[in-house]
A = this chain, B = another copy of it.
Amino acid sequence: MKARYELYYWPSIQGRGEFVRLAFEEAGVPYVDVSRLPAKKGGGVRAMMKLLEGGGRGLVPFAPPFLKVGDFLLGHTANILLYLGPRLGLVPDDEESRLFAHQLQLSITDFVAEIHDTHHPIASSLYYEDQKAAAKKRASLFRKERLPRFLGYFEQALARNGGAHFIGSALSYVDLSMFQVIEGLRYAFPNAMARAERSTPKLAALAAAVAARPRIAAYLASPRRLPFCEEDVFRHYPELDAKR
């Protein structure tokens, strides 16, 4: 019997759930995006909250996204991909490759958290408007220091592995996640990214190659792909993306 994969995440944003969606989409493996189903079909946010409040078996995830397979729940994006990678054929078989893939995914996790904190440097519970001054400072140092630092690191990692893929000689979930980060950054920081991407041609080529893969292209053109927006991790606020 085949596993039935259920993804639980906020229904109206790409967010961290998108890294998991991209893996399923590329693998062509069916999954249920539970919160996006109507409540009468067991969907909606309510079903998700019930599990987060301890309504399942075993360890309760700290926050969405989480995966449900039977009565097994698994939380943390990078942990979900660690689990799914071999099952979806999106990582090589050997332990070293899997640890390296996971290591890169954890650096992506840190990068995404820093990207989020450019617009929420004080607290996620406050509105952006109530932390705008701090956001401007944090975003300015992010653009100058952290953005080139992270992109430079990933460009180098890609180069050291031959330039086409992060892990082994075929596509892995890390390549898919990096595509998402590049896309998100281009949306959120078009000016800063135009400058930064001059030094990262391999990342740009990778992102283009991922976008051109038939299943990913079909996904991106489908209604399953939600648009970027200002309720999400990647937000475009012009005041956080100075022209110079």
Contact = CB atoms under 8 A, between A and B. Distances in A.
Contact of A141 (B99, B125, B141, B153): B125
A200 to B, nearest CB: 16
Given A59-B157, A138-B122, A78 B99 contact: no
A103 B76 contact: yes
Size category of the A interface is 35 or more
A162 interface: no
B121 A60 contact: no
Q: Which 5 A-B pairs have the closest CB atoms?
A: A123-B141, A76-B106, A59-B100, A62-B107, A134-B134
A183 interface: no
20 contacts: A58-B96, A58-B100, A60-B153, A61-B103, A62-B153, A75-B103, A75-B107, A76-B103, A76-B107, A78-B106, A79-B103, A79-B106, A82-B102, A83-B99, A110-B113, A113-B113, A123-B142, A123-B145, A125-B141, A126-B141
Interface in A45-67: 54, 58-62
Contacts of A104: 59
Contacts of A61: 103
A119 to B, nearest CB: 13
Contact of A99 (B79, B103, B106): B79
Interface string A122-160: 110110000100100110011001100000010011001
A72 interface: yes
B96 A72 contact: yes
Nearest to A142: B123
Interface string A61-94: 1100000000010111011001100000000000
A6 interface: no
A117 interface: yes
A75 B100 CA distance: 9
